[in-house]
Structure formats: C-alpha cells, structure tokens
Structure 1
Amino acid sequence: MSDQNLPSGKLSKASRQERIISALQAGPTLRVSELATQLGVSTETIRRDLDELDSRGLINRTYGGAVRPFGSEPTIRERHQMLVSERESIAAATATFVGHGQVLIIGGGATTTHVARRLAAEKRDLRVFTDSFAVATVLASNPTIQIMMCPGRYNGQEGCSYGPETIDYIGRIYANHAILGATGLTEDGPSDADIDAAATYRAMAMRATEVTIVADHTKFDRAAISVYSRWPCIARLVSDMAPQGLLRHALERAGVEVIVP
C-alpha cells in the first residue's frame, strides 16, 4: 500500500518530512500546530522533524514553525555539471538577442558561461566586460572578441573578481547589453546568495541599456540573501520553463519579456 493510501498518522518519518518540504514549496511559511493537525501526529513529533530538516539545510526553523531556506548554491564547478541541456537551450535563445559588434557585460555563473560559449561560436567583433574567468576563457576561442577582465579581489570558489575595485571599474563602462544569472527569482527581483556577487551584478545592471536574466526553472520562487535588481529594470528573462504564480504576475506587471526556447 502506498503512502497516499495510508492515514496521515501512519506516514513514515521520511514521507512525513517530504510532505513538510512540499508544503513549504506551496507556501512560504508553516506552523507547528497546523502541521501536527494535517499529518495527525503530535506537535513534539513535528518539532523533531523540523529540527532535523533545519540541520540538513532544507528549511529555516522559526519559533513557531518553519520558513523556506534562503537560496544557496553548489560551487561553480558543481553547477557546470548540472542541467547542461537546459542551460544550452537558454544560451542558444539568449544569443539571438545579441548583435555582432555590440558591447556586452556578462556576469559570472554556470548559465552565463554557457551563453558566452554560444556567443563565441556565433558572433563576431564583440567587446565583453566580465568578472568571470570561465566566461573569459570560453570567449577567448573567438579571436574577433575583445575581452576586458574586471579588476578586484579573486573569489576562488566562484572564479570571479569582486570588491570596490570591481564596482568602480564597472561604473565607468557603458554597454549595449548585460547578461546576468541569479541564485533565486522571486516577485521582488533576481537575487544572489553571495552579497559581493550581488553588488557586482547590481553595478552591471545599471551600466547597460538592456538587461537579460538567464536562469533555469530551479531558481523560480527561491529567495537568496541579496536582491540585486527590480523587475522593471529588466528587459527579459530567458529560462527553460515559464514561471507561474506570484513570479509570473510580477514579470507581467513589470513588462518583462519571458523567453522559453
């Protein structure tokens, strides 16, 4: 007999915790008393479940229940091995919005590196400013592309430069187009799990006539620690799926074009 056919009180601990996580995906907060009633167990059992899920980083424990965890990401090396086909399709669609000879700003990230690889294969005579060594490396395969590396302190985990020197340098750039990734996308805007990276993306978004966010569907409705722009400042979102719910409504209100390959 499957868990769906069992009374809620007879769910295994693993299935009960799966239900808790699913409930948090449907709504941003949960209360202990409500969960106990819904799952037919004691509040003490729910508290133990929440404590365990919190210790595993799957939720954020609060006094009376739980909230969704702030967005966090694997290392850049790990991300390069994830969702490869989805990111390649996002990259192909993004490249159609870039013209030969344009000045671009491309932020660091796994998806933006896929975009850079596609641009190197299809475009010519670009001038690209980037904080990312991975982006610079894949662009370098095209000898017609000029690459300008942003100065600053090196983040070895992300392979990017950051800090006041980076922000100052970006502030003196004018670009046709900025292409940026994100840890999370909510109705508030795109956000990043790293405050320093978010500061860099914020500066980049302010120095381009047009801003495109490239992010796969796993970023939808995830709140990372630092929002770096607002949707009215963004021209388009390129993703492998169309967002729904509050995120979709926010994009529509802001007039953001949503591109799904």
Structure 2
Amino acid sequence: MALSKKDRRQEKILAALDRNPSMRVSELAETLDVSSETIRRDLTHLDDAGRINRTYGGAVRGQVSEPHLAERLGQHVEARQAIARTAMNLIGEAETIFIGGGATTLHFARALRSTTRRLTVLTPAHRVAAELSENPNIQIMCLPGVYDGKEGLVTGPETLAAIRRFYTPVAFMGASGVDAGGVSEAMLGPSEVYRAMIECSQVAYVLADQSKFDRRSLRYITGWTEGIHLVTDAAPAAELLERLKAGNAGLHLSYVSQAPASF
C-alpha cells in the first residue's frame, strides 16, 4: 500500500532528524515547506509512536544514539584495526596521552599493547585500561567519575575536573559522527569528556571509520581546526575534505590493503 501524504512527510521529518538530530520546528517547517502547525502535529504523532523525543521548540530523533559498545565492537573490525595501526605511528615522542572510549579506541588500545616504550595513559574507559594493563611498560591512570556499564567509561564533573588537572601532547578519541561541521558525539556525558580532552592536549586524533562520514550526532565536540586530525579508512567526500584543508586540520588515511597516507 502506498504511503499517504502525511506518512511521506513524517518519513521526511525522520530523515531530516537523522541528518541533524536536533532540529527546531521552524527549521523542519522550512525544510519541508509546510506550516509550523503541521510540523507540530507530526512531531506529536511521532513522539506518541516512540520514534522521536519532543524538546522545547523542536525534536530529537529517538534512534540517534549509537548501539551499545558490545555491539559496535563487532562492526567494521578490519577498518578499525587498520585505523588503530596508523594511530600507533602518530604517538610520536609523547610520553603521556589521553585515550577516550568507544569501539575504535578499544582497537587502538589492543594494538598499543605491543609497544615496547614506556608510556602513561590517562583514560575514562575501563576497557581501554584493562587492555593496556597487560603491558608492564604502560602506566595507566583511570579517571574518576560516574560509571556507565554499557559504554564502559566514566563521565561527569569529577571526570572533567581530573582531565583539567593535566595536559598531554596527544589525545586519541572516537566519534559518533563526522561531517563538514566537525566531530559529533551521540551521548552528552562523553561529549563533555572528549571536549575537555581536546582542550587539554596539543594534538587530538579522531579515530573514525568511513561509516561515520556525513553523520551529525547530538552534540559537536570540535570543528576542523589546527591540531585536530582525522584518522580514517577512506578518503572523505569533497565537502569534508575542503573543510579539513580550510581549517588546517590533518588527515591520515589507513586503507586496509594499501599504505597509509597523510596531509
């Protein structure tokens, strides 16, 4: 059965919220070329159906959050392992680094277990700490905070305060979304933690496979500026590539079957 005009419009609303998970009524009305009253009625219907969450003046897509860490670990494994190997070469001479949470950073931690150099790692991610604990050359500082068992990391005021006590040459973190506007995160707590890590490091490497391209999640944690580097497994599309170059951000490509490239 063909979709009704109303159903088609509501599917377009959901698609718009997938591209920009937090949109105001006025933005949706302009995008779909309908009245604000029509959008409000549609949002109420979608909210009642559990497909979105209404906010003051707009809506948030109900399915914008990422799958749990355990599920993500089984996705894009080969690409993430290649990214992890490239990231190993980006530590440089740093003796202390931040490592965030997430699936790709956990692959990075697994690769880092083989290092023979002495290194201090500060991390909010307990699974990252557990992986690195197998290497006696790595000293691990687990940051304090409120623990999220599904993501295996801590967040909150205590975590932010601890991060701001330190300054490291290099930080490594994942991302829920990567687009021309910058790097975004689906969860508020981790987004604050990763933003603090960027502020307290000289260089930040964002480890994100191509499945994160052209996705914007709930909150931006950084734009493309000098000191921000994208480490990924495929060349970005033209718009993102131009933003990287315009902001003097870095790009490091980790092709699975080819030698890595950088600018």
- TM-score normalised per structure 2: 0.75
Residues 127/33 of structure 1: CA separation in 2 closer, same or farther (3 Å cut)? closer
What letter is aligned with 1:98? I
Asked if 1:85 is matched to 2:85, the reply is no
For 1:33-87, what per-residue CA distance to the aligned partner results, in whole angstroms no more than 9, with x for missing partners?
A: 989xxxxxxxxxxx99xx78x9585x899xxxx9988842000111111111110
Higher helix share: 1
Q: How does 1:62-141 map to 2 (within 5 A)?
A: 71-99=64-92, 102-141=95-134
Q: Which amino acid aligns with 1:126?
A: L
**Distance in 1 separating the partners of 2:53 and 2:249:** 31
SS at match of 1:255: coil
Q: Which has the larger radius of gyration?
A: 1
1:186 is displaced (CA, Å) by 2.1
Corresponding residue for residue 203 of structure 1: 196
The residue type equivalent to 1:200 in the other structure is V
* 1:220–1:243 Cα contact (<8 Å) kept: yes
Q: CA deviation at 1:101?
A: 5.8
**Map of 1:260 onto structure 2:** 253
- Measured in 2, the distance between the counterparts of 1:119 and 1:144 equals 11
Asked whether the equivalents of residues 84 and 104 of structure 2 are also in contact (C-alpha less than 8 Å), the reply is yes
User: Is residue 151 of structure 1 aligned with residue 144 of structure 2?
Assistant: yes
Shift of 1:182: 0.8
Task: Check conservation: 2:205, 2:228, Cα contact below 8 A.
Answer: yes
Q: Deviations over 1:160-199 (max 9, x none)?
A: 1111110000001111100011111122211111111100
Aligned to 1:177: 170
Instruction: Trace 1:34-73 onto structure 2 (pairs within 5 A).
Output: 57=51, 71-73=64-66
Higher strand share: 2
Residue 43 of structure 1 aligns with which residue? Answer: none
The Cα RMSD (Å) is: 3.7
Q: Which amino acid aligns with 1:149?
A: C
Matching residue's letter, 1:102: E
Query: Counterpart of 1:91 in structure 2: which amino acid?
Result: A
Uncovered stretches (5+) of structure 1, i.e. residues with no partner: 1-9, 36-46
Look up the match of 1:3.
none
The answer (yes or no) to whether the contact 2:94–2:169 under 8 Å persists in 1 is no
**Contact kept? 1:101, 1:127, Cα under 8 Å:** no
The one-character-per-residue Cα deviations of 1:206-238 (angstroms, maximum 9, x if unpaired) are: 111111000111111111111112211543101
Give secondary structure in 1 for the equivalent of 2:222.
Answer: coil
Deviations 1:132-167 (A, max 9, x none): 011101111111000000011111111111111100
Matches of 2:137 and 2:16, distance apart in 1: 48
Measure, in 1, the Cα distance between the counterparts of 2:72 and 2:153. 15
In percent, how many aligned pairs have the same letter? Answer: 37
